[in-house]
Amino acid sequence: MVWQEALRFHPTVIHFGRQAEVDTTLGGKYKLPAGSIVTISHCMLTHSEEIWGPDVMSFSPERMEKGYPEMHMPFGFGGRTCIGKRLAYVEGVYLLAFLVKNFRLRVGGDAPVPTPYVTITHSAKEGIQLMMSRRSD
């Protein structure tokens, strides 16, 4: 649940692009000729109150208990789903569990709030200062 919420809260890929192969109509009213480019904003989907509720800007892993909407697609969708999706899930969950079990983690004392840096991916412009100390318990 924590991994899924982290991917929702801070998606790595911020948008997906697709090209219409044939003339089509979306939602019964938007006509797209073949060759039209459609961009789907993953950030808008992951931060939509309509989809995730009024606390959308809160990090809340519990929201994933009942599964998650089909609009949650951190690795893309369809024929262009990221080929490394399953490996990323396994490695991500393992790494998160390993870090939490073996280390105490905290943000650096006077570290500034990260400034989002958006290109094709989503990251922190100046990085994030993370302090780690080995657990003794």
Binding region for heme = 82
Please report, for residues 4, 9, 16, 38, 52, the alpha-carbon distance to residue 64 in angstroms, rounded to integers and kept in the order given.
Answer: 7, 12, 23, 28, 10
Which residues are annotated as part of the binding site?
A: 82
Tokens of 80: 């262009």
Bridge partners (DSSP) of residue 38 are 18
Bridge partners (DSSP) of residue 107 are 130
